[in-house]
Every structure is written in C-alpha cells, then in structure tokens.
Amino acid sequence: MPALLAAAVAVLPLGYLAVRAGEGGLSTAVEVLLRERTLWLVLRSLGLTAAVTSACLVVGVGLAWLTTRTDLPARRTFGVLAALPLAVPSYVAAYAWISAFPGLAGFWGTFLVLTACTYPYVYLPVVAALRRSDPSLEEVSRSLGRSARATFLAVTVPQLRPAAAAGALLVALYTLSDFGAPSLLRYDVFTRVIHSSYRASFDRTPAAILAILLVVITVAITVAESRSRNRGGTARLGGGVVRPAVTVTLGRLRAVAMGLCLAVAAVALAFPAGSLGYWLVRGASASFDVDRLVSAATSTVGVSFLGAVVTTALAIPVGVLAARYGTRTVRLVEHAAYAGHALPGIVVALALVFFGIRFARPVYQETPLLVLAYAVLFLPVAVGAVRASVAQSPRRLEEVSRSLGTGVWTTLRRVTLPLAGPGVAAGAALVLLTCMKELPATLLLRPTGTDTLATRLWTETGSGAYAAAAPYAAMLVLLAAVPTFLLTHAQTHRAARSTDGVDPRDVMEGGSR
Amino acid sequence: MSLLEVRGVTKAFDRTPVLQGVDLDVPSGALAAVLGPSGCGKTTLLRVIAGFERASGGTVTVGDRLLAGPGRHVAPERRRVAVVPQEGALFPHLSVAGNVAYGLPRSAPRRDRRVAELLELVGLQGYEQRMPAELSGGQQQRVALARALAPDPVVILLDEPFSALDAGLRASVRADVRSALHASGATAVLVTHDQEEALSTADVVAVMRDGRVVQAGTPQEIYRTPHDIDVARFVGEAVIIPATVRDGVVWTTLGALPLAGAAADGVGMAVLRPEQVILVPEADGLPARVLDTVFYGHDANVMLEVRCPGDVLMPVMCRTQGDLPRSESVGVRIVGPVTWFPKRPYDVMPAGAQDAASA
C-alpha cells in the first residue's frame, strides 16, 4: 500500500502534464510540433547530447585506464581528482566560465561545461569495471598468443562496454535534462526553451507540449540503450579475490599522459575554482549582504532535508519490495518509481506548477509542493540505494528470524532495516546533496519570498552581477563537496573490495538536474 | 509415535516438479537425517516444513497440529519450527547473546540465565559479548544451534550445517551438536548430502532421490539392507557382481554366498561391502592380483582382480585394516550375507553376467 502511494507520486506529474498538453486540442499540438523552430530545437538538443556523450566517453575511459592500469605519476591523486567534478553543479561551472569569457555563450561553452561536469559518470563505473575485471582472463589471452594490444581489444574492452554504456546513458540523460548550464550559456536547447516559453507567454500549452516531446526523447534513448545492452556478461567460476592487474609501463608517453590529466583537472576543477575565487575577492570589496547568504543557506538545507526525508520514506517500501519480491505488480511499482530518471527537472516542475494552480492552490509555491517535486525527481536514487542494501543483507536471516517466532513487520524492524541502515542512510545523504544542487524545480516551485543558494546564484548571474553571485556559488560548492567526496570514497572502496560491485547508477546521481 | 509427519508432499517451481510425494516420519526426540545428492529436493523439503515455501500438495503435521495442508499454511513464526541454516546465518549486527536471545520474548523471565545455559550447552560459555565476525566457523554454527534451541521449538531443522567447516572441525562440531540436541530433548531433522555424516549422526536416515524418499530406517538398516542398487551405491562403497538366487543361496562368480533377507529365485545382482572381502594367503581363497592400493591411515582400500572359476576376471574392492599385501598375488574370501536385487529392465549387467547365470 505505501509502495503504491510512492508509485502514484512518481507518475502523477507526467500524467497531469499529458492532460494539460492535450487541453489545447490536437490541432495546437500538431501546429507546435511542426514548427520549423521545433525541428531546429530537436536537432540542437540531440547534437549537443551526441557531442557531450562522445567527449565524455573519450575522457572518462581514457582517465579510467590511465589511473588504474598504468604507471602514471601520482595516479592515486589523479584518481580522486577525476571524480571530483561530480561535486560541481553544471550551472556553477557555467557561471565560472561565462563570467570570465562572455564569448563562450552558445554551443561551445555549453559543450565544454557539460563535458567537464559529466565525464565522471563514465569514469567511475569504468574504473570499477577495470578494478574487478579478472586479470587472469587477460593472462590467458596473452598465453594463447595474443599481443597486449590485441588482448586489450578482444578481452578488456568487452568487459568495460556495459559499464561505459551505462555511464554514457547517464551523460546523455543529464545533458538532455540539464537546465542551468544551457540557460546561463544562452544555448537554446529544450530545457531553456521550455522555461522561456513558460515565462514569456500567457498560453502555456506549447511549453507543456515541448515538455512531453522532451520526455519522449529521453525515454526513447533509455529504451534504445537497454535494448542494445549486452546481456551475456562474463562467467566466472568460483569466488576468490580478484588480483590486481599488471601495471602498463607508459615510458616516454608518461609526460604526455600526465599533461592530459592535468588539462582535464584544470578545465573541470582548477579554472572554475580560480574564477570563483577571483569573483569572491572582487565581491568582498563591494557591499555584501551576509544575512541574505545565511538565510539562503538555511532555506537550502531546510527544504533539501525535508526532501531527503520524504523521498527516503517513500523509497523504503518500494526498495524492500523490489529486493525481496519479484512479482509483476512489484516490478510495475518499481518501474513507476524510476520514472523520475527519465523526467528532466524542468518537466516535473512545470507539471507540478500546472497541477498546483489547478488542484492544490493552498500549497502552490509553498514548501510541500517543492518537496513533492524533489520526491518525484530523486525517488530513483533513494529506491536504488534501499534496494541494493536490502538485497545485500541475506534473505536467509529473515527466514531464521521468522522461524524464531517473529512476524513479518518485526523482522523488518529488527533485522532487515538495521542491516540495510548504512546503505539507506547513504542514499538519503545523496538525495540531500542532490536536492541542494537542484535548480529548475526549485526556481519554479520555491515558496514565495524564499531563495535558495541555487536560485540566488541563478538570478545574480542572469543579470550579470558576477561578483554578487560568487558567495552563493562558493557556499553551494562547500556544502556539496563534503558529502560527494565521502560518497565517492566509499563507492570506490566498496567496488574495489567486492567482486560484484555496486550499480554505479545507485551511487552516482550526484549531479544537478 | 511420530512427532513430525510429512505425507505426500509435492512442490513444483514453474512447473518443474521438485518434490513428488514425500513421506517422512520422525519420532519424538529423534535426530533424523535426510540424505540425498544435490538437486534431489531435500532443502526444498526442509523449507516446506519450516514454512518458507508453500507445498503444492500433501500435509505436514507436528504432534496433532496440522502445519501445512490443503488450504492451510501456518506462517513460519507460528510453527515453533526453528532452523539452523548452512553457514549459521547469524545476525551480524547482534552480539552472540543478542543472537541467542532473539527468539525469546522481551519479557521472558531469566532471559540472561537462559542464554547462558544455552551457550554452556553448546560449549561456548562466556562468549555473550562477542560479535559473530569474531567467531570461527564452528563457533558460529554452535551459536546458531543455541539460537534455534532458545525459544524451545518442537522441531529443529538443520540445513547442511557442517558442510562449510573443514574436515577436522566437522567431526567435533558434529559430535557436539548431536550431544547438545540429545541433551535438549529436541526433535531434529538434518539435511545432508554426506552419507558418512548421515550414518554417523542420525538415529533415523531417510534417503531421498528425485523428489521422493526411497528408503527410511536406522543407519544400519540403510547400510546393510539397502532398498535398491542405487541406494546401496549412495550410502557407501559397494562391490556389485552379477548373481543368481536359487533356494535362498546367492550364486556368484565368487562362489555361493548367504543371502541377507529373503528373495525369490531369479537373475540379478549382489551387493557386497568392501569390508566383507577379506585378504587371505593365496592358497586359502580365490586367487587375485593387486591392481592398486589407497591408504587412508585407519584403513586402506585395495583394488583387486579376482580370477574366478572359468578364468573370468572380476574387479573387486577390499577394505582392510591389517597390513597391506606385500606381494601382487593374494587370496580373497567373502564373509557375511550379501544383499541381492533382481535385474531391472534398464540395468546393464557387468561383465561375466552370463557366466554367473549359467554357473
């Protein structure tokens, strides 16, 4: 029953958006969809997505290989640095670049910023796959007469493909649904156009229709990826600990490799940090409102905390059911909960705006509706965490508990949840982090008169007040960096320890939408 | 009077039948072993008795209480049937005391005393505050037994509890568990694929094959008078030779042997155990040649090729505790009665069958 409620929460906005888009009648829909502008919009969005995804594959796989399999100098440090851009919200990076080089506005700026922010989605799962890939397979291939290069192509690459593909899917979905970076860099992709058409015109039907079109595209990409996925996997007999692989000696290429790693770190981390620092110092001389910063930080943490609590509470029944009972109804509920994966923040926000104006006037632009938006968007993160940690605690323990005279609910309370606790808590922390960085839904649904760090940053940057925006950006990065670092650290450790690893998707929803 | 009665239990997963009408009786206070190769359905039977799986048909009764039957499925927590799973499955977040006390009601009087008594019973007094991760495999298994005994269950089910332990530890843990079970007076069912474990630990053994119990009895009955050739082979090493029964005497290429039990005249096969084959000086028995010896310390297996009357060569295994044969040529003699089974249509007769039949 609680699980059904969670599923309903997750699919409600999409359903209502469809209703709202249909209100204009079929002719309006056809007219909006057949505009030449719409065609260009689709092409620009898909072009950007393809470019960012390809670049992320190159950068992510390259860095993963260099930091796990070669004698790159300081490779441990680079390994940690390479994951850190996850902590930088795309709109903060966009702010850092455009405030320094206004000429970057448009495709190239958006491409650069999104690639720098999202390549860790490929990097992290590929690192995990490289660590747990069995080196004895490679050794067997070498002993059967294949060269090192041929072995890499024939044995190692196929083992990496599922991880890289999963990461690429995340990058593509992120790029399609990201609102902050394209808006600040003024590149007209779906999210930006939906927002401006919602803001600008009295008739909001076109915004709803475009939002539906965007959802159709993201769903199509998700389906295409899962269809093409190689379900074979690798067979491995026996348990045992995986030995670390042999290190490749780079020789003269060491300097080149190190230069490449430094360049990525410079673009993704050092430049944004430097730019932010510059504006902080510049802004410090100007008058600056400390109260406003504190109140923005407080409300950010406040609504995000509420979002994390509500989302996790909704996720627990779905996650437990999904991990324990594979019936058809349960699978349906679980898929419904995952709807948020394919729904861009701007779409959910728009749907809830329509819903709030029509049916929930009292909570429209009040905290509950914003928390509801967070729940819809981040339920997949929390469900994934609950499900994975419940699945890891052996079912046999629950059976033993039942045979000792303990009922289903008491067993859940005394055995399942205590064991899954750390995993569930990590999921909640991840949701908290993600809520803090969320921009479009917060922008549209925040309580009247309230500002969060993200919305202040957006407003100030939008009006060109870069120095005034700096403290908010810095505070946001500070708040977000600590949990991101801890979570990535825990993830890489766990992946290194266990042979089955952790689904990267469960742990890596660290980005902003 | 049986305490646990399983009657005609069937169970199928996705139309694949796993249990095909299992009957099992366990007397009150007895330790019964369900013995079978992997995949025979013995663990599923255990899970049906515990209530983790619903039987497709048949009944499970404990005392006069129907636990599972048509339209009835008592929840696991209401059955008073405790389990000791493979590898113990201790709750990792609870101390030893927390694990043992898990099934005791919070308000139970003298809870700590009871925990201490149980730990003493399994030989782990003073271990209350340890965490499961700090215990060896054998200790974990004993705590799991104490935990199962704590709420005073009517039946205890043990699912291959010793298979994760190494050989040396296995024997001692097995003996401790057996004496703890007897001391507590609990009725227990032990599932295992290890015939030595079943024969040495249990009061009653039920041999399972293809989802059915093919034979149940005391360990001696199972070993001495197996129900068919497959059971004979499964519960211990067997020498199988073609044999014909006439007037209560088993005629084989190794000579005429006394029959265990009764059988109608006919063609078939005799089963003798390697310990029934005795090595004697060459002149005192059938002449045989030593092919190989496998020395175990406490005894040894000797592979022989016996030259039977009519120059038929017959492979025979002998178990001896005495000195190993010094020369290649020895003599053999068979002692004690042998079991005999009529030929089934699908049996392939070993070499020499024709000669035996005509002997």
Q: With CA atoms as reference, report the closest residue to B234 among B11, B32, B17, B36.
A: B36
Angle at A14 between CA A11 and CA A18, to 5 degrees: 140
Q: Using pLDDT thresholds of 50, 70 and 90, give the confidence band for residue B359.
A: very low
pLDDT digits (tens, 9 = 90+) for A329-354: 777 777 776 666 667 888 888 888 88
Among A148-152, A325-329, A435-439, top mean pLDDT goes to A435-439
One-letter amino acid at B180 equals A
Residue A506 confidence (pLDDT): 39
Percent of chain A with pLDDT over 90: 6
pLDDT digits (tens, 9 = 90+) for A432-466: 888 888 888 888 888 888 888 888 888 888 887 88
CB-CB contact of A247 with A59 (8 Å): no
pLDDT digits (tens, 9 = 90+) for A80-105: 888 888 778 888 899 888 888 888 88
* Distance from C-alpha of B232 to C-alpha of A223, rounded to nearest angstrom: 57
Q: Which residue of A has its CA nearest to B47?
A: A399
* Distance from C-alpha of B179 to C-alpha of B127, rounded to nearest angstrom: 20
The mean of the pLDDT values for chain B is 85
Q: To 10 degrees, what angle do helices A190-200 and A345-359 make? A: 30
CA distances to A473, A479, B91, B132 from A88, in Å: 10, 11, 40, 42
Q: Could you tell me if B91 lies within 8 Å of chain A, comparing CB atoms?
A: yes
CA distances to A346, A444, A456, A470 from A450, in Å: 19, 12, 10, 19
Whether pLDDT at B351 is above 70? no
One-letter amino acid at B287 equals P
Q: With CA atoms as reference, report the closest residue to B292 among B318, B312, B267.
A: B318
Average pLDDT, stretch A235-260?
A: 67
CA distances to A139, A141, A147, A164, B98 from A150, in Å: 12, 9, 5, 20, 56
* Distance from C-alpha of B284 to C-alpha of B276, rounded to nearest angstrom: 16
Among A360-364, A461-465, A470-474, top mean pLDDT goes to A470-474
Distance from CA of B14 to the nearest CA of A (A): 13
Whether pLDDT at A245 is above 90? no
CB-CB contact of A361 with A36 (8 Å): no
Task: State which H helix or E strand residue A381 sits in.
Answer: helix A367-392
Report the complex ipTM.
Answer: 0.74
Whether pLDDT at A241 is above 70? no
Residue A239 confidence (pLDDT): 41
pLDDT digits (tens, 9 = 90+) for B71-116: 889 888 888 999 998 878 888 888 999 999 888 887 777 888 989 9
Interface test with B, best of A393, A403, A413, A415 (most B CBs within 10 A): A403
Q: Using pLDDT thresholds of 50, 70 and 90, give the confidence band for residue B356.
A: very low
One-letter amino acid at A348 equals V
B271 vs B312, residue with greater confidence = B271
Question: Can you read off the two tokens belonging to residue B88?
Answer: 């113990």
pLDDT digits (tens, 9 = 90+) for A116-128: 999 988 898 888 8
Residue A510 confidence (pLDDT): 37
- B103/A418 touch (CB, cutoff 8 Å), yes or no: no
Please report residues of B whose CB lies closer than 8 A to that of A397: 89, 91
Range with lowest mean pLDDT among A116-120, A250-254, A425-429, A472-476: A250-254
B87 sits in the region (left: phi over 0; alpha: psi -120 to 50; else beta) called left
Q: Which residue of B has its CA nearest to A404?
A: B103
* Total beta-carbon pairs less than 8 A apart between chain A and chain B: 57
Whether pLDDT at A497 is above 60? no
Residue B24 confidence (pLDDT): 93
pLDDT digits (tens, 9 = 90+) for A44-74: 999 999 999 999 999 999 999 888 888 888 8
Task: State which H helix or E strand residue A271 sits in.
Answer: helix A271-285
Q: Using pLDDT thresholds of 50, 70 and 90, give the confidence band for residue A502.
A: very low
CA distances to A125, B41, B202 from B212, in Å: 48, 8, 19
CA distances to A4, A8, A385, A456, B205 from A1, in Å: 5, 11, 20, 39, 46
Q: Could you tell me if B106 lies within 8 Å of chain A, comparing CB atoms?
A: no
